[in-house]
Each structure stands twice: as C-alpha cells, then as structure tokens.
Amino acid sequence: MKRYRLIKAICVALTAAMLACGVSGCAGDDKMTQTQEKEAGAATKQEMKEAAEQDGASVQEAESGAALESSSEETKKDRSPDRANATLKEGKVKVLEEGDVAPDFTATLADGSIFTLSDHDDDVVLLNFFATWCGPCMREMPAFEMLKADGLDGVAILCVDCMEEKKTVDALVKEKGYTFPIAYDEEGVIENYYPTDGIPYTLVINKGVVAKVYLGAMDAETQYKEYKGAIDECLAK
C-alpha cells in the first residue's frame, strides 16, 4: 500500500508538471502577433527558460514548481475554496484573463518581509513579473518607483523576479535603490500559477480579481501613465 501511494504521488506530480508546462507555452499567437510582441518589448518564454538555466535553475525545477514555505492556517481558512493557491500547489493552473480570480501566494521579499496576496483582497494590487536580464523589464522598472511615490491609499505594488538567484535580485535593489516590494521566486512556484508567453507581464488585480493584463512594456513614463490610469479606474469603482 505504501509503495502504491508513493507511485501515485509521483504520477500526480509529473502530470501537474506536464500540464503547467503545456499551459505556459500556449495562447501567445491568439493574443499577440510576433510583430506586436516585438513592438511591445516582451521577452519570450524560451528566453526565460534559457536565462533560468544559465542562472543555475533547471527547466525541470521551473516546470515542477517546487513549493515555498507553507501558508499559515489562517491563510488556508480565509481563501476561497475554488481559488488557485500557488504556495499550496492547489487549484487549476490557467492562462489568466480579465475577470479571473487571481491565484493566491505567499512570497519572501528582498527586504526580508512576507507578502501574501490574499491579505490585499480589499486593495488594488499591481503585480509584475520580471527578470534582470530582460531589457523591457528593466526599462519600465522606474514606473513602479513612481507609483509607490504617489502613496495611493488602498494600492499595493509587487514585482516578482522570475527564477533568478536571490543574490541577483539583491544586487539589483542595491544598485538601483528601488523601494517598492520585490519578491523572490527562485523555483518558479508563483510564476507557474501566472503562466505567460513572455515578460514583463503585469496584472492589475482589484479585490482579488484580475482587472487588466499587460504583456510587454515601453518606457517607464509610458507604463506609469498606463498603470496609473488602470489603478485609478479600479479605485473609482
């Protein structure tokens, strides 16, 4: 019986990994042509995987989405029964669209604090996925600092680094002096629940529900205006 349970657990894990990989690699052609992707300045999923390998993270780790620290009992109790939870590796993994409930997760930030998405279900959350090797990601980064400086009530900002080592993220924060929250995701646990064909990938989440989705970025000033407009729209509702 123990051997059966072990085999079953391995099969379930492999199936989940294959499903996550399949989902994260599709839907790009439906949403954006290659020309549009180039104009928007989005790094491709293949580039993300290659960068992860160069930084010491294997593709296998990216697909399996090894777990972060377990969520507290309070987080488990409060989350919606049908809400995907990256930290607990529960719920359906899908390409997110406007109107979808944002998967919950808990992440460790570069300043040592903890961020749990469901703690901000009464807020507007600007959630960004980036990597230091991604040119468009780095060009738009000052936009998040500008938004933080606005000091808007009921607004939270979080940028999640995609599968780079902590020392790489720490070096970025030290060099640029960014003060907005930046999260580690060395093994792709959070990224796995927010599948995309490229980065930067940014979502505006209003009261736990996806309100806007952005793939790619222009310059910081342009992105600041774009995100600020989306945030103001959510706050007005």
Domain annotation for the chain: domains and CATH numbers: 2-235 (3.40.30.10)
Residue with tokens 């979502």: 203
Q: Under a CB-based contact definition with an 8 Å cutoff, are residues 105 and 87 in contact? A: yes
User: Percentage of the chain with pLDDT > 70?
Assistant: 67
Strongest mean pLDDT among 16-20, 42-46, 200-204: 200-204
Q: How confident is the model at residue 170 (pLDDT cuts 50, 70, 90)?
A: very high
Q: Is the pLDDT higher at 139 or at 237?
A: 139
Residue with tokens 């040119």: 135
Model confidence over 145-169: pLDDT tens digits? Answer: 999 999 999 999 999 999 999 999 9
Say what the pLDDT of residue 184 is. 98
Range 65-74, long-range pairs (CB < 8 A, 24+ positions): 65/16, 65/17, 65/20, 65/89, 65/187, 65/188, 65/189, 65/192, 65/193, 66/187, 66/189, 67/189, 68/105, 68/106, 68/107, 68/108, 68/187, 68/189, 68/190, 69/106, 69/108, 71/104, 71/106, 71/116
CA distances from 197 to 32, 33, 79, 166, 236 (A): 10, 12, 28, 23, 31
The whole-angstrom separation of Cα 36 and Cα 73 is 44
pLDDT at 129 over 70: yes
Q: Under a CB-based contact definition with an 8 Å cutoff, are residues 214 and 201 in contact? A: yes
The whole-angstrom separation of Cα 62 and Cα 195 is 11
Model confidence over 31-84: pLDDT tens digits? Answer: 443 434 445 567 776 676 676 666 554 444 444 443 334 444 444 444 455 799
Under DSSP, the state recorded for 87 is T
Say what the pLDDT of residue 1 is. 41
Distance of CA 92 to the CA centre of its chain: 16
14-28, 44-58, 103-117, 188-202: least confidently modelled range = 14-28
Q: What is the mean pLDDT of residues 216-233?
A: 98
Say what the pLDDT of residue 97 is. 97
Q: Under a CB-based contact definition with an 8 Å cutoff, are residues 136 and 103 in contact? A: no
Q: What is the mean pLDDT of residues 208-233?
A: 98
Mean pLDDT estimate for the chain:
80
Q: Are strands 182-183 and 155-161 parallel, antiparallel or unpaired?
A: parallel
Q: Under a CB-based contact definition with an 8 Å cutoff, are residues 24 and 192 in contact? A: yes
The helix/strand/coil state of 67 is: coil
The whole-angstrom separation of Cα 56 and Cα 144 is 28
Say what the pLDDT of residue 42 is. 75
pTM over 0.75: no
First to last CA, the chain: 55
